[in-house]
């Protein structure tokens, strides 16, 4: 029975969007079926007043997106074991439909191998979905659902059983590519990932470059992603491809400088434990349309 499948939602906030945060919480509480448990983490900031029953943590410093979400997971017990799946929701997002939780329960219950679900992100004003929010190479049709190889961190659900096998999000990444790191490890452990366009999160259309450390982090974390997860022969192929793609896109001088600095940091700084994926997982990624060299 899908009603027996327990859901919990993790929201991290810097405390600067109290109205949006409370609107998101109300959209979670409005979901059909059994109540979705809520956990809100103040990531280096005090929390605004919240409804009764919300699990909370206020961190003395900003641990970044993956670090903050890991704290939220633990609010549901070790590796989130108090619930069967954990939703990650951006604090300026909104669930416009009341059947999203029920669709997730049905999806996870129908397919025991399903480890992660990536939602469709839509702009609340236009209803459009940016190409970068469709987690596959063939992103022209955001209404087409499919098996994928990564997911959208602030609009997703992860089965709690994934964490003991694949680990939680890599806190050292702070921001950028942490979802792909977890996705690759989940796939290597035998789990599947689905992109579901019928599970929608409203989120204002923004550019990721608004984050000050964006270009540095995407380069550094791309190197870390390869160093942590890829078989040794694929590391130079993967990073060489991304290096050439970045140069071909002709970023501004300041952006390229930040990117190159991040690329160097990816080699000189510790990336955490290395657990190269099996070659069978490389083949699985390739069959899903995303060989780990692009």
- We report the CATH number of the domain holding residue 111 as 3.90.550.60
Angle made by CA atoms 165, 170, 171, in degrees to the nearest 5: 135
Instruction: Using the 3D structure, point to which of 184, 206, 228 is the last residue of a domain.
Output: 206
* 235 domain-assigned: yes
Angle made by CA atoms 203, 206, 105, in degrees to the nearest 5: 30
Residues 201 and 232 in one domain: no
Q: Which domain holds residue 98?
A: 2-206
State pTM to two decimals: 0.95
Does 210 score more than 60 pLDDT? no
Would you tell me the crossing angle of helices 214-229 and 253-268 to the nearest 10 degrees?
30
* 284 domain-assigned: no
* 160 domain-assigned: yes
Residue 216 dihedral angles phi and psi, to the nearest 5°: -65, -50
Residues 55 and 134 in one domain: yes
Instruction: Using the 3D structure, point to which of 206, 231, 250 is the last residue of a domain.
Output: 206
3-state secondary structure of 157: strand
Residues 202 and 216 in one domain: no
Q: For residue 68, how far is the Cα from the chain centroid?
A: 12
* 111 domain-assigned: yes
Residues 68 and 150 in one domain: yes
Residues 77 and 183 in one domain: yes
Residues 253 and 132 in one domain: no
> pLDDT tens digits for 118-174?
999 999 989 899 988 999 888 889 999 999 999 999 999 999 999 999 999 999 999
Would you tell me the crossing angle of helices 178-188 and 279-287 to the nearest 10 degrees?
110
Residues 7 and 152 in one domain: yes
Does 30 score more than 90 pLDDT? yes
3-state secondary structure of 116: strand
* 103 domain-assigned: yes
Does 253 score more than 70 pLDDT? yes
Average pLDDT over residues 1-6: 87
* 237 domain-assigned: yes
Angle made by CA atoms 34, 2, 118, in degrees to the nearest 5: 90
- Would you state the torsion angle of the CA atoms of residues 35, 39, 40, 42, taken in this order, to the nearest 10 degrees? 170
Strand-by-strand arrangement of the 146-147 sheet: 55-58, 37-42, 7-13, 85-89, 155-159, 114-122, 192-202, 146-147
Count of domains in the chain? 2
What's the confidence (pLDDT) of residue 250? 83
CA atoms within 13 A on the CB side of 51: 14
Residues 251 and 118 in one domain: no
Residues 202 and 213 in one domain: no
* 294 domain-assigned: no
* 288 domain-assigned: no
Instruction: Using the 3D structure, point to which of 206, 226, 241 is the last residue of a domain.
Output: 206
């Amino acid at each position: 029975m899908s009603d027996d499948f327990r859901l919990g939602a993790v929201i991290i906030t810097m405390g600067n969007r109290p109205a949006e945060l409370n609107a998101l919480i109300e959209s979670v509480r409005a979901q059909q079926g059994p109540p979705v448990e809520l956990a809100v983490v103040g990531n280096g900031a005090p929390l605004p007043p919240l409804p009764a029953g919300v699990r909370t943590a206020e961190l003395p410093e900003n641990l970044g997106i993956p670090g903050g979400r890991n704290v939220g997971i633990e609010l549901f017990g070790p590796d989130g074991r108090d619930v069967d799946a954990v939703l990650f929701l951006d604090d300026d997002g909104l669930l416009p439909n009341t059947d999203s939780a029920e669709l997730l329960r049905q999806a996870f219950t129908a397919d025991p191998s399903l480890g992660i679900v990536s939602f469709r992100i839509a702009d609340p004003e236009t209803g459009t979905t940016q190409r970068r929010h469709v987690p596959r190479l063939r992103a022209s049709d955001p209404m087409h659902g499919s098996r994928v190889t990564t997911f959208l961190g602030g609009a997703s659900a992860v089965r709690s059983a994934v964490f003991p096998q694949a680990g939680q999000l890599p806190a050292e990444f702070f921001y950028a590519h942490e979802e792909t790191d977890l996705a690759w490890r989940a796939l290597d452990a035998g789990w599947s990932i689905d992109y579901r366009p019928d599970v929608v999160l409203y989120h204002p259309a923004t550019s990721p470059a608004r984050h000050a450390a964006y270009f540095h982090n995407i380069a550094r974390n791309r190197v870390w992603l390869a160093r942590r997860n890829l078989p040794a022969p694929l590391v130079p192929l993967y990073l060489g491809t991304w290096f050439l793609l970045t140069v071909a896109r002709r970023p501004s001088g300041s952006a390229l400088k930040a990117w190159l600095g991040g690329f160097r940091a990816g080699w000189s700084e510790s990336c955490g434990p290395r657990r190269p994926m099996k070659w069978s997982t490389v083949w699985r990624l390739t069959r899903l349309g995303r060989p780990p060299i692009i």
